Amino acid sequence: MLGAREPARRQRREPHHGGPRDGRVGPGGTAADAGHHLTRVTAGDLLTRVRGLLRRGPRFGPYADDEHPERLAVLSRVIPGRVLEVGCGHRKTSPDFIGVDLVPGGELGRIGNVRGQRSMADIAADGDRLPLRDAAVDCLVARHNLEHYVDLVGVLDEWRRVVRPGGRLVAVVPDEIRYPGSTLALDPTHYHAFSESSLGRLLPRTGWEVDEVGPCIEGWSLLVVGRSA
């Protein structure tokens, strides 16, 4: 059992949408098969796709399928055990993960690339106030979620609280430094720009040891892997 923390704001269990209910990922499964995936897709090409997405709707061109390079990069770094995905939206990185999102499971998203898409969340909650007990999961995944919080230290503290000692954080964030102005201009809910050096300073402030930080999609996104101290 993951357990719950009381009192918890907006705690709500939503219908499960496939995969084990406890969010366990076993060794030799999807994550282990994914391999080491980075790509040199240009930021300009991806930015053009995203602008088209914002005009036309939720599809993300050829990256709407299971072969998205960010998804594969995350899967190759997830450790076995219970995996929590914060900000899962309408598509979890793996159906085995426990999805958390502000949009309750089964409801339709209203903005951005989740507009009209049905949420896959198992838990409806804010990512900076998770209704889980301490050390509830082995790994936490966040793809393009961290940049949406004003208080970075606060949210990283909360994520570390729910990850067991020695557990892992796998996050993808916009690479604002290499392609200045791109994501902040596209999405006003992005509050922060990130670089490899800024992530390397930020995580240790909140009790995470940095195991890896570097480009995920060259010039567009960064991948950071942390370990709970």
Any domain includes 3: no
* CA-based torsion, 146, 195, 227, 22: positive or negative: positive
How far is it, in rounded angstroms, from Cα 145 to Cα 25?
21
Rg for the chain, CA atoms, rounded? 16
In angstroms, how far is CA 62 from the centroid of its own chain? 20
Pairwise pLDDT comparison (180 vs 16), residue with the higher score: 180
| pTM listed for this prediction | 0.72
- For residue 194, the enclosing domain spans 24-228
Q: Which helix (H) or strand (E) holds 75?
A: helix 69-75
Total structural domains within the chain: 1
Percent of the chain with pLDDT over 90: 48
Q: Read off the tokens for 104.
A: 């309750």
Any domain includes 1: no
Q: Over the stretch 72-110, which tens digit does the pLDDT of each residue have? A: 999 999 999 999 999 998 889 999 999 999 887 767 655
Any domain includes 15: no
**By the 8 A CB rule, do 132 and 4 touch?**
yes
Mean local confidence (pLDDT), 44-59: 41
Any domain includes 53: yes
Any domain includes 83: yes
Any domain includes 146: yes
Percent of the chain with pLDDT over 70: 61
In CATH, what number is assigned to the domain containing residue 141? 3.40.50.150
Any domain includes 163: yes
**By the 8 A CB rule, do 129 and 170 touch?**
no
Any domain includes 155: yes
